[in-house]
Amino acid sequence: MSGNDSNKMTTNIENASGEWVDGISGSPSTNGKDAKKGPVVLTVNQVTKTIGKKHIVDKLSFDIHRGEIVGLLGPNGAGKTTTIRMIVGLIDMSQGDVLVKGHSIKSDFVQAVRHIGGIIENPEFYPYMSGYDNLRQYQRMSEGVTITRIMEVVKLVGLQDAIHKKVRAYSLGMRQRLGIAQALLHNPSILILDEPTNGLDPAGIREMRDYLKQIARDEGIAILVSSHLLSEMELMCSRVVVIQEGKFVTERSIGGTVANEELTTVSLRVNDTAMAEQTAQHLKDIILINSSEEEGMITLQLHEEDIPTLIQSLCDARVRIYRVEEMKSSLEEEFLKWTGGNRIA
């Protein structure tokens, strides 16, 4: 965390009626709509934070699209929290800009920040008031938030049975969900969460993950989340952005293929590993990784488009195939490879 970080706070700003700018000039990777993604909601463009002579964040760029959950990963001191604080306007950036639905955080702050809902560290509430009264308190400070909308977000985060209880009786997970409800009241376009599962037990973590995925799906809200739980990020996010020493390292679509990986690793369970191995060796550009006659398994590397040819050749050789499985590295393994073994934080 940067030395310029302020006290714990929740960022919730009322929704804008400003016009959506379709296509963002100067976006580092995509503009407007992508063939497989919705419109760009957030663009971080060459953002830099310098303290003295040290670059805390150095020319960082990435986009986030409507309805996707993006994880921000990095080792301890990588600049994750500093990046999030610059995005929501809590600290100034030295260079670059952040665009939220086409509005610049630097030159059009009010319009830009109206599209953002967020929790930076832990949400804070009046403990002697009920969850409902806390949301009503926020409603009084915001335009356009109705009682109907309050009940919509309460249902969305699963607090219907506890919303009239005093917050002092809430578990940590319930407080986190109440914080997300407050952040959603003004219909933001993007939800930004710094360590939303911090301190939660396994059941609370799973609940939080399910609610965030539901929010992204049902509300069409983009979500940017930072966390140190790599396994949880792999289950929650559709994409991760990895930074180290304030610089962009890589990004990966979860569940998809990595752009720079040319070969796919597959494991096959067959009735005759010797014949399968012999057949594979006669095919072009197929690498034998491992073969176990006892387990009836053979592991190969090949181009994805060559998999049907391999299957057909094995069938022609009368090799029975019981299972074909793609072997993928876990996000933890990939992260350690990307960052040279540095620990997440």
- The span from the CA of 334 to the CA of 345, in Å, is 16
- The span from the CA of 305 to the CA of 302, in Å, is 8
Residue 336 C-beta-side C-alpha neighbours within 13 Å: 6
The amino acid at residue 103 is: H
pLDDT at residue number 15: 36
- The span from the CA of 179 to the CA of 225, in Å, is 14
pLDDT at residue number 82: 92
The segments of the chain whose pLDDT lies below 70 read 1-36, 255-261, 329-330, 332-333, 335, 337-345
Full-prediction pTM beyond 0.85? no
pLDDT at residue number 268: 92
- The span from the CA of 255 to the CA of 253, in Å, is 6
Alpha helices, DSSP H, located in 100-146:
109-113, 131-140
User: Is 34 a member of any domain?
Assistant: no
121 shares a domain with 90: yes
236 shares a domain with 95: yes
Smallest CA-to-CA distance from 13 within 133, 100, 131, 107 is with 100
304 shares a domain with 210: no
CA distances, 209 to each of 124, 172, 212 (Å): 21, 15, 5
304 shares a domain with 187: no
Terminal C-alpha separation, the chain: 10
Q: Which of 227, 253, 279 is the last residue of a domain?
A: 253
Q: Which of 253, 285, 314 is the last residue of a domain?
A: 253
220 shares a domain with 162: yes
pLDDT at residue number 342: 57
278 shares a domain with 139: no
pLDDT at residue number 35: 37
Q: Which of 253, 278, 304 is the last residue of a domain?
A: 253
pLDDT at residue number 330: 67
Q: How many domains does the chain have?
A: 2
User: Is 196 a member of any domain?
Assistant: yes
Beta strands of the chain (E only): which ranges? 9-12, 40-51, 54-65, 69-73, 95-100, 103-104, 116-120, 190-194, 222-226, 239-244, 247-253, 264-270, 287-292, 297-302, 321-326
φ, ψ of residue 236 in degrees (nearest 5): -90, -40
User: Is 4 a member of any domain?
Assistant: no
**Contact at 8 Å (CB) between 39 and 189?**
no
pLDDT at residue number 340: 67
The parent domain of residue 243 ranges over 40-253
User: Is 182 a member of any domain?
Assistant: yes
Per residue in 265-312, pLDDT (tens digit) is 889 999 999 999 999 988 888 888 888 888 899 998 888 889 999 999
Pull the structure tokens for residue 325: 């499985």
Please tell me what DSSP assigns to residue 256.
S
User: Is 21 a member of any domain?
Assistant: no
User: Is 15 a member of any domain?
Assistant: no
CATH number of the CATH domain containing 217: 3.40.50.300
User: Is 12 a member of any domain?
Assistant: no
Please tell me what DSSP assigns to residue 343.
P
pLDDT at residue number 343: 54
User: Is 259 a member of any domain?
Assistant: no
281 shares a domain with 216: no
- The span from the CA of 224 to the CA of 93, in Å, is 18
**Contact at 8 Å (CB) between 226 and 71?**
yes
